[in-house]
Chains A and B, each alone.
Chain A
Amino acid sequence: MPAATGFGVFDYDMEHLLEGVALLFSFVLLYQRRLSAVINTYTAQALTVAASCFWQSHVQHSGDLFATGVVTLLAKGIGFPWALNRIAKQTHAAGSVEMSFGVYPSLALGVFLACLALLVVMRIPAGAALTRETLAMSLSVLLLGLAMMVTRGSALTQTIGFLSVENGLALAAVGMPGMPIVVELSVAFLVMIAFIVFGIFFFRIRAQFDSLELHHLDRITESPE
């Protein structure tokens, strides 16, 4: 734990630079049209989160956070992007344009959500300054990920939105000083995401649906008597 926190202290500024970059990638995710670009942006965000883990492990002198960083790097920086790219290639969707919202409304929604996160969190007194700003940034990333899940139509981009939500959670968890079982929490979450990604594979392999568009799934929901 650094003795002094606030603007101008290197530890603090570095951490917030990384969080800010992650938030920037969240905005990019909101408006990217091509699937391959969405996957690349997600990868960049995951790498930023991994860098944040390593930086926090250095600042807090925590081996646990270093382990979290390694897991993040391997799973989210390398594993998931590889799997997502493979699915995109199999479904011939890599270059597709799909967007249920326009670029400007999406960005306006993103700005609104980020402001909301800041307004909510900044009401907390500055007693724990380090964590307060971290919380605001990670909440913004989380909300933007949720917005992406709502505004995107296909299972694959929705999954990437969910992965981005997880990035926000990882930022929050590693930013809390001395929080125990961060490794366990992040591994548990990554297992769930792995299941989701595997589930999409499964959909394709079983060929039960012509496409990953979610409204095909809605077709088979119950019709009233």
Chain B
Amino acid sequence: MNLGPMLSLAWFVALVPLLTACVLGFIRHPGTASLVNQAAAVLAFVLALLLPFSTDPGGLWLAPDDLGIHFAILTSFIGVSAALMSGPYIRIELETGRMTPTRARAYHALFQAFLGFLLLGLLADNAGLTWIAIEAATLSCVLVVGLAGTPRAVEASWRFFIVCGVGIALALFGTIVLYLAASAAVGTGFAAMSWRAITAAAPRCNGLVLNLAFVFLLLGYGTKAALAPLHAWMPGAHAEGPTPVSAVLSGSLLNVAICVILRTRHILASNPMAISPNDALIALGLASVLLGGISLWRRADAKRFFAFSTMEQSGLAVFGFGIGATGAALLHLTLHTLAKAALYQCLGHAAQRKGGQSFTEIKGLIASDRTLGLSLAASIIAVAALPPFGMIVSLFLILSFTAAHTPWLAVPLLIGIGAGAVALIHRLQTLCLGPPTPSKFPPVAALTLLPALVLLGLTILLGFAMPPPVAAWFARIATELTP
């Protein structure tokens, strides 16, 4: 059996964080661990950037498609900014005694493991390997969330575990059924697990078996993508985990799951006998937008609050994929990942400064910390899809596409988005404006906000002045995703 080139570029992208995770398990000094963590994240990002230019056809295990490469670049970039934030964040957690050195060591190792498995899942061309990678990423993430060891953190990670465990079980069943469907068309063995081979052979597969596979894959990976009503794990996991991980979690774990759902959608849409996968995406996406937007109104915890906003925005992207606004939805997902990562970084610093993460503890940030308050305000505006940030563009594209093709769906969509945006602006006012609450800890250096500001700058650039090669790249993926 020819295993193909075992060490292609894609392997390096995934192996750098995974091997670094092993090394970080042995580094006792938190400062050194933090530097190694940052260096590995930067290296993985640089390698991921080379992926679009790689002519390597890929091997049996890893043969990334453009969608996978796109999300791999995005994930590794978010990884860099989160690793840069981890340095000062962990230092303060250690100084204030909220984290022990042993736990800081576990944090760094798990961070890289989480990143590595996410990248592996994105770049894998084998449905089984994708499943294993996402399962392992979930495991490392559950451990990070429970790291604080407080009852709330343990509760959040337990719920994360049980809900995602069920999701993972359903996804595995879907993978097995997908193999069954594909093996009838391409023969048994590895070919029947390759995303590319299955997509190419989709018209010859049995439609009924594909339907069954799709139901389980959608429910299973939909749990990971936090689509309503499968989102129960997400708010707690965001609220209790260390903030740099919330930033990665908020975009990237969701993106990996959405990436798999999109591949499955492509397979089903290529088969004339199978059900239309888009209706399911529209229904789940719309439910997420509505539930997320309305849930924003009764939250007391800031990190939990913004987790619901993540659910709303990724639901909107899934809705966009469902109605056929593929390019706009991809842009929306990308911009939201960048903006939300920036937001969690600012919020993490604010929560550390004020010594708490509830809305009653963080108030009037601009008056007490001008730069931090302004950055947080800017990132909330970005996440609310308001100008001058790029998400307004993708939101407008999705909305106008909906209004043109299915006008009656635009109404509930607008209600959900409107409810969410108003809630975000309301919280912007209490978090950033007005008289400040007392600060319990020293202010953060302005330089530590730089990664968040770079992320915000990118959302403006991608929304309003996208460089032509990047625009061509987006168009190419959108074409590939349209069967």
Contacts and interface: CB of A to CB of B under 8 A. Distances in A.
A30 B172 CA distance: 23
B173 interface: yes
Interface in A167-225: 168-169, 172-173, 176-181, 184-185, 188-189, 191-192, 195-196, 199, 202-203, 206, 208-209, 217, 220-225
Contact of B151 (A158, A184, A188, A220): A220
A19 interface: no
A142 B173 contact: yes
Contacts of A166: 169
Interface string A128-167: 1001000100110010001001000001001000100110
Contacts, number: 126
A166 B168 CA distance: 10
A contact patch SS: helix
B139 A180 contact: no
B236 A221 contact: yes
A124 B209 contact: yes
A178 B183 contact: yes
A222 B126 contact: no
Nearest to A174: B176
Interface string B182-224: 0110001110110000000000001011001000000000000
A208 B129 contact: no
Contact of A180 (B166, B169, B193): B193
Given A221-B236, A222-B300, A224-B300, A192 B135 contact: yes
A120 B212 CA distance: 8
B180 A135 contact: yes
A121 interface: yes
B161 to A, nearest CB: 6
Nearest to B142: A195
* Residue of A138, A168, A189, A191 with most chain B CB atoms under a 10 A cut-off: A189
B93 to A, nearest CB: 20
B300 A121 contact: no
Contacts of A165: 166, 169
Contacts of A202: 154
Interface residues of A, number: 50
B176 A125 contact: no
Given A177-B183, A222-B301, 5 more contacts: A179-B179, A188-B135, A195-B161, A217-B158, A220-B152
Interface of B: 126, 128-129, 131-132, 135-136, 138-139, 142-143, 149, 151-152, 154-155, 158-159, 161-162, 165-166, 168-169, 172-173, 176-177, 179-180, 183-184, 188-190, 192-193, 206, 208-209, 212, 235-236, 239, 298-301, 304, 359-360
5 contacts: A125-B206, A168-B173, A181-B132, A192-B135, A222-B300
